[in-house]
Structure formats: structure tokens, C-alpha cells
A and B are shown apart, each in its own frame.
Chain A
Amino acid sequence: MIKKIIFIASAVILIGVSIYIIYINSHLKPHENLDVPYEEVNKGVIDIEVEAVKSITENISSPIEIAALIKEMGVPFNRDFLAPTDYVSNYSTNYAQAFALGVFSADLGYLNMYNKTGSVIDYLTTIKNLADAINVGQYFDFATLKRLASNSSNVDSLKYISVHSFNQIDQNLRQRKRGNLSALIIAGAWLEGIYITIQVSKIKPDPKLLEKIGEQKIILSDLMTLLASYAKDPIFKNYVNEFNSIKAKFDEVQITYEQGEPVTVVENGMMTVVQKDRSIVHITTQQLNDISQTVELIRNRLIRQ
């Protein structure tokens, strides 16, 4: 009789616990393991529609495009351009961790583009640790990436899984209403991308690179819209202020447009559309220097915080 009572009581408790765990898993997962309390993280966040934010941020800046341009310039790989991983253990908030995750994603794109699979492991480990810290480590396929990085012939798969993992992290954060962290990842990737471009332009001031730097005015404008939506949070506001300082330098860059009708060519079954509209960047040496100095200052400050 006593055994029966114990059994029934245990069953009731276990079922209750199960329901509770399932509820926590499906509803409260995004709140877990935040160094900054969730209430604090979301304090002052403007309730902008998910779709609206999404439309602003889809592929706002891809490390792949910038890394490809840099490689095409014929400038040799330079490890000094990359952010050091030494400061990672000092990051005390999820904001700093998310921002650094973005920075290292750009560095990973640069490493992958130069097939530097040997150096990739250190960055993969750092990225994995940061992803775990903000509770999205399960979307970063570290084991596969590490295996692929051990063989330089796997670089295409390495690129694909790296970028896909970041897309999944981004998607997950936004779906789980942690868009503020997603915004910081995007901001970190953008800042590191332009930082590397500036470093390369100092070695080889090719007009294409200078144009690439100048046209970031357009992308930064979209990025600022996204960041500003979280600016009521005092910790987040620091990032907004830093990026506003960069934006102020870009405000003086002029961009003009020429109109034209697209040309469509079909060759070997593949359709290619050649755009005849053009954006033209007008940037002076002084503007470039101001942008470079501000970007370097802020990038170095933010990765060491």
C-alpha cells in the first residue's frame, strides 16, 4: 500500500516537473544564462515588428563580399588585421559577447577566403565559446567546422557551414526576441569588415577599396536604424553612441546615382542581368582619413571592453 502511494505521488510529481520543463523550454529559453538580467536587456526596447527589423538587417553586410574584394586586390594575408582573441574572457555582458561574435565572424570570413584553415581553429573555438555564452552554441556546428578546418581542401564546406551557422544564430536570436543581441552581432561584423578594408587600403589604396569604404555610408544608415531601436537601454546606448560617431564621419561622403536600363543575357541556360543604374561614391582623402581614424579608435576600444 505504502509502495503504491509512493509510486502515485512520484508519478504526479514527475509529470508536473515534466510539464514545467517543457513549458520552460518552449517559452523561457531565451531568458536563460543572460549575464544581464532579461528584464534589463529588454528595458526600453521599442516593440518594432520582427518583419520590419528583418527587412532592414537581411545580409546587411557580408564578410564574404569584402574578403573576396580584398583577396582580389592581391594584398597578402595579414594576421595583424584580425582582432585578438585574448580579451574574450574579459567580456562581462552578453552585449560584449554578441558584439565580439560579430567581429570574429568577419575575421573568420577573412581567414576562410585566404584558405588559412590552420589559423581558423583558434577563431572557431573563440566563436563557439561566445555562442555558448549567449546561449546559441547549439547552432554553431563546431565539431564539423573543426574537422573541416583540419584539411584545406574542405574550404568550400567550411565557408558554407560557417556562414550558415551564423545565419541560424541570427535567425534564432530574432525569433526568440533577442534581436538586440542579433543587432550587435551584425554591428560587430560590419565594423570588423570595414576595419580590415581600411587596413588593406592603407597598403593598396585601390579606387575599388576606397569606393567600398565610402559606400558603407548606405549600409551604416540601415544599421543605425536597427541599433537606434534598442537605444533606450543604457548599456546598448553606448554602442549606439560609438556607431553614431562613425556615422558622423560618413555623413560628409557624397553618393550620386546614374540611371540606366538593365541588360539581360542568357548564355548556356544561365540568365545574367547586368544593372546599368550606378551608384558613385565621392570621398575625399580627408574624409577617408577621418573615417579611418574613427573606425580604428572605436573598433579597438570595443573589442577590449
Chain B
Amino acid sequence: MTNIVIKPTGQISKLLIVLGLIIAGWVGFDQDAAGQSGSKLVELCNSVAGDDATYLKDFYVELDAAGPEGKAPEQRFTIVLSKNTEYRFTVCNAEGSQGKAILQLYDVSKLYASTYNPQTGQTFQSFNFQCQKTGAYHLIVSFLDGKKGSAVVIASFVRTL
């Protein structure tokens, strides 16, 4: 039996190491970079939601500025909420976001809550929703004055009613 031994030269060894590092770096970046920054914002926003709220779900939003027609872009998410349950919805702007996120909660057609009151200009970072009707609800996120922005919304469980 003949044993074949490959002895890489010094240059080849260096090349292997460099390429190995490039591949490892690329693979790691590709899989985790985007997720990690989002995860940090989610973690931060979850702490803003408060100790009395249990994290359920997060929704990441990234929107462009309003076009020439002036309508602010918005992103919609659907969430199933259960009767006799109090939920908390918290919105946090990403670092460097130009716009301030507005979160609204609808069922099929009715607006239940908004973090922004256009009459008074008052804004809230969170609101609680005491659900009495099990079903699908819509979370709509847009940015004040149609600015470009990114934010995360945290849906949390507060208590059983």
C-alpha cells in the first residue's frame, strides 16, 4: 500500500489560511449580520415594553420616504389576538432612523389604537389593548411626515383578563 502525503509549500499554506478566513468571514456575515442588528433592536425594544409584559413577536419595518404624491408608505402585519387577553404593542425607532414610527391597530376596518394622535400631536411609545374578540388584527406601521425610516414593533402578552 502506498501512502500519498501532500506537503503544501509555505506559500500554499498561507494561501489556504487566507482563503479559509475569507470564506469563514463571508459565510458568517451572510448568515448573521442582518439578523444580529435586528435582534439587538428587538432586545432593546423588549426591555422598553416593560417587565410586566412577556415578549410574543417582533415585526421589523423599513420604509422609504413618501413619493411626490405625498402618501406615506406603510407596512402591514397580521396578528391573531385572543379574547380575554391584554396585549401591549411597543414601537421603537432604529438608530439613525430619519422618521418616527407610528403604529396603528385595526381589525378588518375599525381603528382601535394608534401611537400618534394627529389632533393633539401627542405620541406614545406603547399602548395596551384589552382584546374581547378572538381573530385576526392588522398592525400598520408608517413614519411621521412620510419620512424614510426603520423601526421594530414588539407584541407582548400582559395578562389574562
A residues within 8 Å of B by Cβ? Answer: 3, 6-7, 10-11, 14-15, 18, 21-22, 25-26, 54-56, 58-62, 64-65, 68-69, 72, 138, 156, 159-160, 163-164, 167-168, 208, 211-212, 215, 218-219, 222, 257, 262, 264, 269-279
B100-117 residues with Cβ-Cβ distance < 8 A to A are 105, 107, 110, 112-113
State how many angstroms separate the Cβ of B60 from the closest Cβ of chain A: 9
Q: Are B55 and A163 in contact (CB under 8 A)?
A: yes
Q: Which residue of B lies closest to A112 (CB)?
A: B54
Closest Cβ of chain A to B73, distance in Å, is 15
> How far is the CB of A28 from the nearest CB of chain B, in Å?
13
Q: How many A-B residue pairs lie within 8 Å, measured between CB atoms? A: 151
Chain A residues whose C-beta falls within 8 Å of the C-beta of B55 in the assembled complex: 159-160, 163-164
Contacts of B126 in A (CB 8 A): 270-271
* Residues of A contacting B84 in the complex (Cβ-Cβ under 8 angstroms): 69, 208, 211
27 contacts between A and B (CB under 8 A): A6-B9, A14-B19, A22-B23, A25-B27, A56-B78, A58-B57, A62-B56, A64-B56, A65-B85, A65-B160, A68-B157, A159-B55, A160-B43, A163-B55, A164-B58, A167-B58, A208-B84, A211-B84, A215-B83, A218-B80, A218-B134, A271-B124, A271-B127, A271-B128, A273-B128, A277-B132, A278-B83
Query: Could you say which of B43, B54, B56 has the most chain A C-beta atoms within 10 Å of its C-beta?
Result: B54
Q: Is the Cβ of A18 less than 8 Å from the Cβ of B159?
A: no
Main secondary structure, interface of A, reads: helix
Q: What's the Cα separation between A25 and B28 when bound, in Å?
A: 10
In the complex, chain A residues whose CB is within 8 Å of the CB of B113: 262, 264, 271, 273
Specify the chain A residue showing the minimal Cβ separation from B77. Answer: A58
Interface flag for B35 (CB, 8 Å): yes
Please determine whether B80 and A211 come into contact, CB atoms closer than 8 angstroms.
no
Measured in the bound complex, the distance between the Cα atoms of B132 and A278 in whole Å is 5
Q: How far is the CB of B132 from chain A (nearest CB, A)?
A: 4
B134 touches A215 (CB 8 A): yes
The answer for the CA separation of A208 and B11 in the assembled complex, in Å, is: 72
A21 to B107, CA, bound (A): 46
